[in-house]
């Protein structure tokens, strides 16, 4: 049985529903969901330039969990950019 997921503190939100390549209809693209906590990890690490420890404290999670989260987020963003996929920001409610 998996451990219960610790609630993450998330301050940032995506400005749009998705980010996609120009000129290709959304319906024709592969989609990659990026979770709210993954987007928050990217914001704290790359936009705010916080250390992993500082960012983990802000999110209320361990440094190791933060590192794993930001690693997953960076992989998804890189895959989206390189392979031309739509990066989708699902509503928090749909993840419950």
Contact 10, 61 (CB under 8 A): no
| Structural domain boundaries enclosing 46 | 36-91
78 in a structural domain: yes
Tell me the per-residue pLDDT of 46-87, one tens digit each, with 9 for 90 and over.
999 999 999 999 999 999 999 999 999 999 999 999 999 999
Asked whether residue 59 is assigned to any structural domain, the reply reads: yes
In a domain, 48, yes or no: yes
Tally of CB atoms within 10 A around 18: 17
Please indicate, yes or no, if residue 96 is contained in any of the structural domains: no
Instruction: Provide the pLDDT confidence category of residue 96 given band limits of 50, 70 and 90.
Output: very low
Q: How many domains does the chain have?
A: 1
- Residue 86 pairs in a beta bridge with 31
In terms of Cβ atoms closer than 10 Å to its own Cβ (0-12, 13-18, 19+), residue 3 is exposed
Residue at 14 is within a domain: no
Q: Indicate the pTM of the whole model.
A: 0.82
């Amino acid at each position: 049985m998996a451990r219960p997921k610790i609630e993450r503190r998330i301050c940032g939100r995506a400005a749009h529903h998705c980010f996609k390549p120009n000129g290709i209809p959304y319906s024709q693209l592969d989609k990659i969901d990026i979770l709210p906590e993954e987007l928050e990890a990217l914001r704290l690490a790359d936009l705010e330039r916080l250390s992993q420890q500082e960012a983990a404290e802000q999110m209320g999670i361990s440094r190791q969990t933060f590192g794993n989260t930001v690693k997953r987020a960076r992989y998804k963003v890189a895959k989206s950019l390189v392979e031309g996929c739509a990066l989708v920001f699902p509503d928090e409610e749909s993840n419950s």
